[in-house]
Structure 1
């Protein structure tokens, strides 16, 4: 019937008549990913993977995407060792170092981190006698300086958003990720105070976002809030967001690039303060510091060339 399966399942569960007999995709993926490993290595890798997903006495559960990535990162080394060994405890530190030397680029950073997680868990469980990855340095990413979008790039994205829903998606993406936009409600929008509540944090609205939101939402009360009228406060403020976001994702610049530009703009306007960024946008420490470093580099370049950053920001808005 082409109906949203998730909504149907929710209703049937509330009625108490839903029985899920399908095999979880995770189980099918795990069996296929561990294929070809020696029995002793396979069993320990499976236990470690399940602890990552479900958590344990000394660890919190990870997101399924993180679990997939972690196992994928160690599988190459485990397959190689399975040709010589039957159990994880037979692997030596020289084997780990030899494998790490063959890695380059992002693999040189990601695979040692995943292997460290595996061997740290194995040591705690008494599977191995010592952590073979201790004191092995992990490669570092050298990030380029983030660059703000040109005014014509922003204008092109706004012009390409033909429907009201698509224009609202562009507005919201400037402040949040698509998954966060999908759960926005009318009470999260405060036009009068130029604020948008995302994940419990009040984020300032730039001129572009404010204009697009004002065009889409009905006029509010004296405080500038979007009115509830006949709707409830829990009604989504951004209807059809997911579908509109999918249709917009291939545009130039991409939606994610617009969000990055908004956060960089805030950094340039307020100053390269990572604590401010973390508080306003909910960024983690490393991401906030990357924005701050990029803003600092751009401001230093402008000072050397005599360029006014206000001019560029005005064009973007």
Structure 2
């Protein structure tokens, strides 16, 4: 082909323009076609849509002036003050506590609108008794609880340092234990904490060599099991079985390395009676009416610390001198009767208006309906040999030593399981044996 004109890019001029086409080049650049504006590019102010700024603005209640800003005619405030009065009377709140919560609601709800919620974090630096105020706001449906659960912070700290592949599977396993599933119930929080605390050093060691639980072999499990003994070995293997069983069920691992590894029986420690000086230390540590009652219930009625905290006022019958512990009624002795009357007098003096149905209450639970914590009951006996649980064990052993090592008698008196009754009977039988019983008549 000959006689063809060469055009360089963006070097067109008017006299080089091809007839019938748009002008190009510096003198006549073809303009871009206007881009159609979609719904997201339109001006929202012209369409009547209000712009939302991505700002996390928190309320500052510290500038509230009751004389200037209080609006006692606000419908939400009126309803909140009425709920506070009714809720406080039903839960045994004192007049001072009801007044304090009422003043806090005036600060929070004076300028409140119908759909506005109040964050819990906004109460921390401004409001006293924020726990009680949060209960009232929750009753009104106005509480935005933005607190991070303690379980999340604990789990993040325990999984720190574990390789991401192993961490992902372990976290899924722990959440399944904590929250439950369609066919499984949630485990006790203490069980979940104990499981992860037991195998955390093992997971940290695997993180140096492996990137996933699929790389763990049977030899790795055996090398760990061979370094452990007794109940520690049994517990560790049980936890590892739970972990790999969950991963096998979810299809994360192809083979369970803990299969066909014998866990072994539970090796219980020998049960020995307490010395007199150890019991004297425990009774000396009981300096309050609540701790004296706890010692009497544990040492005489073999009550566990959990059962002591869950005792109700309805379980005590001072007229007939009867006491119901863990669903079993038993007679009240003189020592326990005196400890009960002293505690009830102390309770009536300090918290006369409490609506808590439990026998033991403290400063925190007096305005609630939940039982006291186990730490509050056992704190006075920390560091002693004769703790409440140890006194409970000693009482059951003493019963077996006094009335003979009969498991049926122990199960009937204390309501314990057959296995536990047999264990205490065997311990008592071992203590009651004398050298004469092993004497060979033909020697």
Query: Smaller-chain TM-score range?
Result: 0.7 to 0.9
Which residue number corresponds to residue 179 of structure 1? 306
Alpha carbons of 1:103 and 1:152: their partners in 2 closer, same or farther (altered >3 Å)? Answer: closer
Alignment equivalent of 2:159, drawn from 34, 50, 60: 34
- Aligned residues of 2:233 and 2:263 also touching (Cα < 8 A): yes
What is the alpha-carbon distance in structure 1 between the residues aligned to residue 411 and residue 249 of structure 2? 34
Alpha carbons of 1:204 and 1:96: their partners in 2 closer, same or farther (altered >3 Å)? Answer: farther
SS at match of 1:145: coil
Which residue number corresponds to residue 96 of structure 1? 221
1:173 deviates by 2.8
CA offsets 1:252-296 (integer angstroms, 9 cap, x no match) = 632322222222223334544546545654545654443232122
Alpha carbons of 1:130 and 1:142: their partners in 2 closer, same or farther (altered >3 Å)? Answer: same
1:250 deviates by 4.5
Indicate whether 1:293 and 2:422 are aligned. Answer: no
Larger Rg: 2
SS at match of 1:37: coil
Indicate whether 1:257 and 2:390 are aligned. Answer: yes
SS at match of 2:169: helix
- Bigger drift between 112-121 and 52-61 goes to 52-61
- Aligned residues of 1:168 and 1:238 also touching (Cα < 8 A): no
Indicate whether 1:149 and 2:274 are aligned. Answer: yes
Alpha carbons of 1:10 and 1:148: their partners in 2 closer, same or farther (altered >3 Å)? Answer: farther
- Aligned residues of 1:186 and 1:233 also touching (Cα < 8 A): no
**Bigger relative contact order, structure 1 or 2 (CA pairs below 8 A, ≥6 apart):** 1
Which residue number corresponds to residue 311 of structure 1? none
1:239 deviates by 4.5
**RMSD, aligned α-carbons:** 3.8
Within 5 Å, give how 1:45-84 maps onto structure 2: 45-84=170-209
What is the alpha-carbon distance in structure 2 between the residues aligned to residue 256 and residue 188 of structure 1? 21
- Bigger drift between 78-87 and 62-71 goes to 78-87
- Aligned residues of 2:304 and 2:388 also touching (Cα < 8 A): no
What is the alpha-carbon distance in structure 1 between the residues aligned to residue 258 and residue 322 of structure 2? 47
- Aligned residues of 1:182 and 1:238 also touching (Cα < 8 A): yes
Within 5 Å, give how 1:300-315 maps onto structure 2: 300-301=433-434
What is the alpha-carbon distance in structure 1 between the residues aligned to residue 415 and residue 380 of structure 2? 26
Query: Structure 1: any 5+ residue segments left out of the alignment?
Result: 219-229, 306-317
Query: Structure 2: any 5+ residue segments left out of the alignment?
Result: 1-99, 101-127, 346-351, 363-371, 439-443
1:104 deviates by 4.2
What is the alpha-carbon distance in structure 1 between the residues aligned to residue 217 and residue 353 of structure 2? 64
What is the alpha-carbon distance in structure 2 between the residues aligned to residue 287 and residue 4 of structure 1? 45
Which TM-score applies when normalising by structure 2? 0.55
- Bigger drift between 27-36 and 95-104 goes to 95-104
What is the alpha-carbon distance in structure 2 between the residues aligned to residue 302 and residue 197 of structure 1? 42
What is the alpha-carbon distance in structure 2 between the residues aligned to residue 79 and residue 160 of structure 1? 41
1:216 deviates by 5.3
CA offsets 1:132-177 (integer angstroms, 9 cap, x no match) = 1112122555434322234554455445544433321211233323
Task: Give 1 or 2: higher helix fraction.
Answer: 1
Indicate whether 1:198 and 2:320 are aligned. Answer: no
Which residue number corresponds to residue 114 of structure 2? none
What is the alpha-carbon distance in structure 1 between the residues aligned to residue 181 and residue 320 of structure 2? 44
- Aligned residues of 1:109 and 1:138 also touching (Cα < 8 A): yes
Provide the aligned length of Structure 1 versus Structure 2: 294
What is the alpha-carbon distance in structure 2 between the residues aligned to residue 86 and residue 44 of structure 1? 11
Which TM-score applies when normalising by structure 1? 0.74
1:49 deviates by 0.8
SS at match of 2:433: helix
1:42 deviates by 1.5
SS at match of 2:394: helix
1:61 deviates by 1.2
